[in-house]
């Protein structure tokens, strides 16, 4: 087996896709690209960056990934920001915002040389957005990449953040509904998963059996699972309600598994709420996972009959992509990026309430042929739309477009 990532991807997506990546990357050979976010572990952004950096490197670019650091209150502030940008009404205190700005200034001190020298800087999400304000000697293009569901942000917080984001050369959004009016070019790029990662590659039957055993699950009864950070927008308590309703009609087990992210201070509180809601039901398996539990998550998704992602807000939902890639029908909240992936009645079901989710669980478990057909369609849909090769192609195209400014065509060698 070849060591080259591109050769391995070619076996999955075909030669044409890989050739077009090579062609797009050629004019960008040696381009210094820095990505900045706020955590190396936990959450979708870290997941994507771990996989994208090596691929860009193999394509001849010169990419690196930096993480900003701050104290506890900094993450509290950015979590409030995240929650309010996703629609919660809440006033963030002046002192916390000051800490947010100061922390970014300190990180700019540390990273300035590298950031000012880079040809492209991709700043992910609100946490590091102010870095640009302290890099006045910048040489390259700066792009702000928004991963969250800002379809209906709490306006005062968006207005505050907008002042930091407006001076960027461009911004990227996952969905048209999220894009906010700004004076620079706005691009739409959906996230992706890596089919070669520990999280997504095939696992042996023996390993799946071990995961079943380790998780104390009954191999003879259906399993539904939601695997997500313990975050209120993911609605884990709503999942438990749906499970309890469905269980009145069909025998089943629920897995609610997830860990935290280093930039998410609310995880413990939400986990406590989940444990309280699950209390007394031996068929609800709440699992706190370590940050490197990629194979376990892979296995849990594979041994499940149905995967839930009952979010009430969702930037994209890589967990949805991961499950669909494994041929699982997903019952997802009818919000944000889930709607890009789950086409109601075709690649899964979209729901708005625990009752709706329960109804769909019951339907799928009693119509196995439909469950399997949906799973097949789901995998094909991900293959065609949400793998890393498409994602990198769009990033390369964006870089060329930004470099070539207002020219109408991108000329490739
Ligand atoms: N994830 C993980 N461990 C966990 C929970 C989630 O590795 O305990 C992964 C999950 O498999 C997915 C990503 O983190 O790849 C979460 O991305 P998503 O877009 O679903 O949600 P986010 O956490 O970014 O809101």
What is the Cα–Cα distance from 306 to 375, expressed in whole angstroms? 9
Q: Is residue 200 part of a domain?
A: no
Ligand 1 binding pocket mutation candidate from 44, 190, 215, 325 (most atoms within 8 A of CB): 44
Q: Answer whether residue 271 is part of any domain.
A: yes
Q: What count of other Cβ atoms lies within 10 Å of the Cβ of residue 99? A: 18
Check residue 408 and give its pLDDT: 63
Same domain, yes or no: 171 and 234: no
Domain holding 33: CATH number? 3.40.50.2000
Q: For the whole model, what pTM was predicted? A: 0.95
How many whole angstroms from 407 Cα to the centroid of ligand 1? 38
Asked if 20 and 58 sit in the same domain, the reply is yes
Q: Which structure tokens are listed for 264?
A: 């998410």
| Residue 328: φ, ψ to 5° | -105, 135
Contact 72, 262 (CB under 8 A): no
What's the pLDDT score for residue 340?
97
Same domain, 187 and 235: no
**Cα within 13 Å of Cα(200), Cβ side:** 26
Same domain, 172 and 218: no
Give me the half-sphere count of Cα atoms (radius 13 Å) on the Cβ side of residue 315.
Answer: 22
What is the phi-psi region of residue 104: left when phi exceeds 0, alpha when psi lies from -120 to 50, beta otherwise?
Answer: alpha
Nearest protein CA to atom 2 of ligand 1, as residue: 42
Report pLDDT digits (tens) over 394-403: 999 999 999 9
Q: Which of 47, 327, 44 is nearest to 174 (CA)?
A: 44
For the CA of 199, the nearest atom of ligand 1: 11
Q: Is residue 197 a part of any domain in this protein?
A: no
Atom nearest to 234 CA in ligand 1: 25
Q: Is the separation of the CB atoms in 139 and 32 below 8 Å?
A: no
Q: Which residues line ligand 1 (CB under 6 A)?
A: 43-44, 47, 199, 227-229, 258-259, 289, 297, 316-319, 322
Same domain for 312 and 252? yes
CB distance 224 to 88 below 8 Å:
no
Residue 166 domain-assigned (yes or no): yes
Domain extent at residue 173: 4-192+387-411
> Would you say the C-alpha torsion 241, 320, 315, 112 has a positive or negative sign?
positive
Decide: 378 and 235 in contact? Cβ < 8 Å. no
Q: Whose CA is nearest to atom 6 of ligand 1?
A: 228
Question: 198 lies in a domain?
Answer: no
DSSP summary character for residue 179? P
* Cα distance between residue 386 and residue 393, in whole Å: 12
For residue 367, the CA-to-ligand 1 centroid distance in Å is 29
- Check whether residue 381 and residue 399 sit in a common domain: no
Do residues 238 and 145 both lie within one domain?
Answer: no
- My answer on whether 357 and 263 are in the same domain is yes
Question: How many independent structural domains does the chain possess?
Answer: 2
Are 48 and 167 within one domain?
yes
Residue nearest to ligand 1 atom 9, measured at CA: 43
CA of 113 to the centre of ligand 1 (A): 32
CA-based torsion, 310, 227, 187, 144: positive or negative: positive
- CA–CA distance, 5 with 12 (Å, rounded to integer): 11
Are 164 and 174 within one domain?
Answer: yes
Residue 102 lies in a domain: yes
Quote the pLDDT of residue 413.
Answer: 56
| Ligand 1 atom at minimal distance to the Cα of residue 320 | 20
In a domain, 199, yes or no: no
Instruction: Check residue 412 and give its pLDDT.
Output: 64
List Cα–Cα distances, 33 to 36, 140, 172, 278, 354, in angstroms.
Answer: 10, 9, 16, 45, 43
DSSP per-residue codes, 56-86: HHHTT-EEEEEE----HHHHHHHHHHHHHHT
Q: Is residue 212 part of a domain?
A: yes
The CA distance from 62 to 31, in Å, is: 6
Q: Tens of pLDDT along 135-182?
A: 999 999 999 999 999 999 999 999 999 999 999 999 999 999 999 999
User: Cα separations (Å) of 372 from 87, 130, 219, 271?
Assistant: 36, 47, 18, 32
- Domain identity same for 217 and 136: no
Pair (82, 182) in one structural domain: yes
What is the model's pLDDT at position 70?
A: 97
Per-residue tens of pLDDT for the chain, all 413 residues: 678 999 999 999 999 999 999 999 999 999 999 999 999 998 899 999 999 999 999 999 999 999 999 999 999 999 999 999 999 999 999 999 999 999 999 999 999 999 999 999 999 999 999 999 999 999 999 999 999 999 999 999 999 999 999 999 999 999 999 999 999 999 999 999 999 999 999 999 999 999 999 999 999 999 999 999 999 999 999 999 999 999 999 999 999 999 877 778 889 999 999 999 999 999 999 999 998 999 999 999 999 999 999 999 999 999 999 999 999 999 999 999 999 999 999 999 999 999 999 999 999 999 999 999 999 999 999 999 999 999 999 999 999 999 988 666 666 65
């Amino acid at each position: 087996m070849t060591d080259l990532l591109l050769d391995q991807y070619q076996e999955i997506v075909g030669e044409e896709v890989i050739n077009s990546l090579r062609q797009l990357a050629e004019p960008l050979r040696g381009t210094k690209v820095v990505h900045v976010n706020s955590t190396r572990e936990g959450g979708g952004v870290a997941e994507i960056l771990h996989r994208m950096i090596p691929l860009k490197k193999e394509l001849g670019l010169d990419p690196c990934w930096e993480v900003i650091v701050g104290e506890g209150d900094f993450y509290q502030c950015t979590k409030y920001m995240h929650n309010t940008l996703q629609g919660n009404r809440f006033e963030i205190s002046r002192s916390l915002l000051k800490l947010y700005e100061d922390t970014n200034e300190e990180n700019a001190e540390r990273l300035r040389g590298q950031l000012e020298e880079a040809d492209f800087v991709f700043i992910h999400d609100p946490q590091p957005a102010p870095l640009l304000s302290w890099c006045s000697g910048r040489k390259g293009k700066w792009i702000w990449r928004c991963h969250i569901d800002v379809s209906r942000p709490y306006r005062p917080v968006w207005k505050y953040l907008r002042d930091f984001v407006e001076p960027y050369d461009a911004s990227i959004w996952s969905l048209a509904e999220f894009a906010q009016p700004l004076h620079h070019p706005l691009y739409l790029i959906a996230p992706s998963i890596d089919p070669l990662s520990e999280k997504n590659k095939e696992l042996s039957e023996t390993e799946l059996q071990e995961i079943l055993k380790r998780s104390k699950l009954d191999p003879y009864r259906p399993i539904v699972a939601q695997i997500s950070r313990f975050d209120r927008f993911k609605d884990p308590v709503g999942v438990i309600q749906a499970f309890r309703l469905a269980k009145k009609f069909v025998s089943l087990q629920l897995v609610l598994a997830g860990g935290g992210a280093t930039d998410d201070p609310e995880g413990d509180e939400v986990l406590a709420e989940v444990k309280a809601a699950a209390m007394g039901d031996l068929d609800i398996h709440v699992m706190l996972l370590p940050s490197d539990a990629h194979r376990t998550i892979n296995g849990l998704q594979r041994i499940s009959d149905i995967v839930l992602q009952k979010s009430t807000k969702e930037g994209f939902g890589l967990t949805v992509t991961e499950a669909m890639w494994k041929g699982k029908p997903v019952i997802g909240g009818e919000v944000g990026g889930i709607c890009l992936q789950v086409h109601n009645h075709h690649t899964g079901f979209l729901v708005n309430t625990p009752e709706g989710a329960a109804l769909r669980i019951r339907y799928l478990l009693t119509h196995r042929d439909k469950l399997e057909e949906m799973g097949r369609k789901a995998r094909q849909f991900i293959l065609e739309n949400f793998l890393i090769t498409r994602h990198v192609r769009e990033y390369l195209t964006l870089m060329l477009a930004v470099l070539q400014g207002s020219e109408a065509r991108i000329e490739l060698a």
